[in-house]
Structure formats: structure tokens, C-alpha cells
Chain A
Amino acid sequence: DAGITQSPRYKITETGRQVTLMCHQTWSHSYMFWYRQDLGHGLRLIYYSAAADITDKGEVPDGYVVSRSKTENFPLTLESATRSQTSVYFCASSGDTQYFGPGTRLTVL
């Protein structure tokens, strides 16, 4: 089915561990985005990508790494998870409009 998917949907990890959140879209959109959503802060952009092999920092990139070797995939890696990275993470892809994945709820203990 066409759309945008994220995995895992829920993840519990420990401080210091590496975690990778996956995002896959089937629309062949050039642009993809990673956001985190926290109470009181709304949506904050972590990283975005204009095309394969082109990525750029958003508002809150520290502690995160992204890659985009294929147009359809845009994984987000937390290199050494911290408790402050407990959040809901949304991936989005965009033609002229951003469409969102279902989200990943990450808890860092």
C-alpha cells in the first residue's frame, strides 16, 4: 500500500544505547523530515532531506544522525540515547504537502 510507515511503533531502551528509527515512504517524494513532539513544545524539526544523499539539520539535531541512501528510506539514529530524547518521533515526506507517518513512541530509561 502507498504511504509512509515507521518502525518500530514503540521502543523502550536504556541510556547510552544506540537506537535507530526507520521511516519508509512509497510516494517517491524528494523531501523527508524527522520531527519530535513533546508537550509544550509542539513539533520540532530534527533533520530533513531534500533528496538521496542530501540531508540538513533542523532545529534540534544534537544527539541524532540521519542518512538517506535511497529516496524511500530515511532512518534516524540516536547514537547514545539520553532520557531527554524520550519523545514521540514523526517522520514526514513531502511533495507540495507534508504527510506524516504514524509515529514512534520512544522511552529512554
Chain B
Amino acid sequence: AQSVSQHNHHVILSEAASLELGCNYSYGGTVNLFWYVQYPGQHLQLLLKYFSGDPLVKGIKGFEAEFIKSKFSFNLRKPSVQWSDTAEYFCAVNAGAGNNRKLIWGLGTSLAVNP
């Protein structure tokens, strides 16, 4: 069965530290890839997405992600986190690249940034 794995369940960082959250998926075909963020008490918001082209994708709030097809990975990065980045981060994959718009979700990574 297709799956998405987020390796870090809980991450604690200090402000200005660099962030990398891992995401791996299991599907051998074409994929669309997404990262969503959920701030405390809020709904999920799109951070960035990859459909095709440049595998280094830039999103909102200084986040970026790199698609490495050979590693089935789509890791999220930010060079310097802020306290306001404290949130839950979800990686999601649309296997088959859009056929039914269904997403396979990782379980999320909880990020706490200490001021």
C-alpha cells in the first residue's frame, strides 16, 4: 500500500536554528508532493507543492523543499526558524499525479521553537 513517512514526530529548536523535516513516500510512479502547516488551533494551510520542473521548490514564509526522486523524498527546510513557526507540519502525496486528487498523508511533525 502507498504510504508517507515523516521520520521526526517531535522537533524542538531554538530560534535562528536551521530546520529540516524528512518525508519519504512509497510509490514508484509520478507524484505530486505537498507540505502543509497547521498552526495551533487552526486549519491546514499549504506551505508549498511540487508538480514538475525544478526539484527545489520555494514556498511561503521562507520554507523550501527538495524533491529527490531516487530517494522518494521531499524534505522540508528552513535556514532560520522563528518562534512563529511553532506548528504541526504535514507531508502529503498525490500518487498518480492528480487522477483523483486524493492525498496520502504523513502523520505529521510537531515543531516547537523556543524564543
Chain A residues near B (Cβ < 8 Å) = 31, 33, 40-43, 45, 48, 50, 58, 90, 92, 94, 96-103
Contact = CB atoms under 8 A, between A and B. Distances in A.
Nearest to A90: B43
B102 A100 contact: no
Size bin of chain B's contact surface: 20 to 34
A103 B98 contact: no
Contacts of B101: 31, 33, 48, 50, 94, 96, 98
A96 B32 contact: yes
A102 B45 CA distance: 10
Nearest to A43: B105
Contacts of B34: 97-98
Contact of B46 (A33, A99, A101): A99
User: Most chain-A Cβ atoms within 10 A of its Cβ — which of B34, B43, B90?
Assistant: B43
A90 B31 CA distance: 24
